[in-house]
Structure 1
Amino acid sequence: MPASSQTSRHPAFATTLANGLAVLQCFRAGDPILSNRDLAERTGLSKATVSRLTYTLCLKGLLMHDAQLRRYRLGAGVLSLSHALLSGMRLRQLARPLMRELAAATGGTASLGVYDQRHMVYVETSRGHDLIAFRPDIGARLPVMASAMGRAWLAGAGPAQRQAVLDELERHEPEQLRKFSKALAIAVEDWKAHGYCVSEGDWQADVHAVGVPLRMPVDGERLVFNCGVRVERLGAGGLRKEVAPKLRAMVDHIERLVTDGGHG
């Protein structure tokens, strides 16, 4: 995942920093422990470069080395950086009680997310159920084209910003773009007509979800709320008839609170 040639040619671009961040971005929920070889393959960097980066990242507390496995995992320093980010998002505290109410009313999960590199990332989530198999958590990443949250973010974006993301998908994930381009076009029309977007099993087959973006940026971020419900808990047309109106009402309420409280 090296930087694009256009970006890396900029005189202010710090290549070593970008390479170190690329190493950190290789770790995912399903891949918490990686070797230097794994990291070299995923970043396209040489093994020698990766070895220097992992050594330095360990010294800074951003990676931990498991000597027995001869592999690396993220260090506590990453968690400290995440806490600084999350604690600065005042909207999370503002929205949390309303998200709990929505999750309880729908028997689903209400979440708040931001866009990051062709994905949406949860920064807050509330569950109204005890299902072990369906427990999205803070930091979870969703594909931008397949998820209701991602479609809502794209639908609410301006044409230029949306096209920039689609161009990036064309370069890095053309399969996702081809598979869901028609669904995105429908999502944009849904957003214009109804103020929400849906994903009915496109990301997780047994979960239907609806997404609604905030109409104004907060602290410079364009944020999106979603609500996902297991299919067996939905009646016929329940996603659009019951869940979507509740989510829209919650977002409208939050927008009024943000405006009255001077956030953004």
Structure 2
Amino acid sequence: MSTAPSQTALNTRSEKTPPGEDRHFVTALARGLEVLACFRSGTRVLSNQELAERCRLPKSTVSRLTMTLVRLGYLTHDEESGKYKIGMATLSLGVGMLAKLDIRQVARPYMQELADFSQAMVSLGVRDRLSMLYIENCRSQAALTLSLDVGARIPIVTSSMGRGYLAIATAAERREIAERLGELDAWSQKDILNGIEKAVVEHQTLGITTSFGDWQKDVNAIAVGFQLSKNQPIMVITCGAPSFTVSKEFLLNDVRPRLLETVEKIRTAMGH
């Protein structure tokens, strides 16, 4: 692997105008959306203080935002606890979005076929800010598979799905992601760049990306990122399972060619 990841994986600087300097950028709207994004899978209720800490905003600002979102139906407020949870208006947006993703219906039988062969979980995901969002899952009949469901989010740097995305994203987009992750102090800059470099190199040499204990020490997974057209978002299909049920050798030698074939079947079925 290259000893200079920033040159291989991040060889282009982003020239995007910072949001705060763009006269078309609506800061209040962006902040409201960031508040909604805090309610991730597994997080059902949050207080204004918790939201303020996650969004890095003053509590007074968050209070005004949550009050507005409650009035519009995007959040609901529990008087007893003083906390907030997702409202029906937000849920309807998500349901509407998923219903329009025809690829879910097209991909499902091919994904299920791969899940049955591998005795693992096969998932379809897209990027959501600095995470990967599961939009479809297929499980085998194996007694033990991963417990992630549609709507779950996983890290973009350490997971095979995230690396599948990074591998085919533009260099400018990879740089932007690396910079934003660095600001969060979730990983060291070296770990971030190494994760991106690993994704790019594996995609070039194997056609897939891997995560063997990198995201969770007891999980093995491989993934393929693809884009049906330039006007559509990058999507990723991943196949993973607990490491004590599926070895990395099995994933690389037996599952990898079938995963690549699954993506080609989906491309063909979608008319690409």
Q: Tell me the TM-score normalized by structure 2.
A: 0.86
| Cα deviation, residue 209, structure 1 | 0.4
Determine the structure 2 residue equivalent to 1:201: 213
C-alpha contact (below 8 Å) 1:214/1:255 kept by paired residues: no
**1:164 to 1:54, Cα distance in 2 relative to 1, 3 A:** closer
1:182 paired with 2:182, answer no
1:72 paired with 2:92, answer no
Match of 2:29 among 11, 14, 17: 17
Match of 2:164 among 142, 148, 152: 152
CA deviation digits over 1:50-83, x for unaligned, max 9?
2222121111111111111111111121110001
| Cα deviation, residue 5, structure 1 | 9.4
Alignment of 1:41-52 (within 5 A): 41-52=53-64
| Cα deviation, residue 181, structure 1 | 3.1
C-alpha contact (below 8 Å) 1:112/1:125 kept by paired residues: yes
**1:5 to 1:132, Cα distance in 2 relative to 1, 3 A:** farther
3-state SS in 2 of match to 1:121: strand
**1:177 to 1:122, Cα distance in 2 relative to 1, 3 A:** farther
Taking only the aligned residue pairs, the percentage that are identical comes to 36
| Cα deviation, residue 159, structure 1 | 2.4
**1:236 to 1:35, Cα distance in 2 relative to 1, 3 A:** closer
C-alpha contact (below 8 Å) 2:227/2:233 kept by paired residues: no
**1:241 to 1:176, Cα distance in 2 relative to 1, 3 A:** farther
Q: Determine which structure has greater relative contact order: mean sequence separation of CA pairs < 8 Å that are 6+ residues apart, divided by chain length.
A: 2
Measured on the aligned residues, the alpha-carbon RMSD in Å equals 2.2
Alignment of 1:1-264 (within 5 A): 6-129=18-141, 134-173=146-185, 175=187, 177-217=189-229, 220-235=232-247, 237-259=249-271
How many residue pairs end up in the alignment?
257
Give structure 1 stretches of 5+ with no counterpart. none
| Cα deviation, residue 175, structure 1 | 1.6
3-state SS in 2 of match to 1:67: coil
Letter in 1 for 2:182: E
3-state SS in 2 of match to 1:110: strand
3-state SS in 2 of match to 1:237: helix
Give structure 2 stretches of 5+ with no counterpart. 1-15
3-state SS in 2 of match to 1:33: coil
C-alpha contact (below 8 Å) 2:145/2:241 kept by paired residues: no
C-alpha contact (below 8 Å) 2:224/2:238 kept by paired residues: yes
| Higher mean displacement: 134-143 or 44-53 | 44-53
C-alpha contact (below 8 Å) 2:35/2:51 kept by paired residues: yes
| Higher mean displacement: 23-32 or 74-83 | 23-32
| Cα deviation, residue 163, structure 1 | 2.4
**1:197 to 1:11, Cα distance in 2 relative to 1, 3 A:** same
Q: Distance in 2 between matches of 1:39 and 1:174?
A: 18
Q: Distance in 2 between matches of 1:257 and 1:23?
A: 38
| Higher mean displacement: 37-46 or 136-145 | 37-46
| Higher mean displacement: 9-18 or 104-113 | 9-18
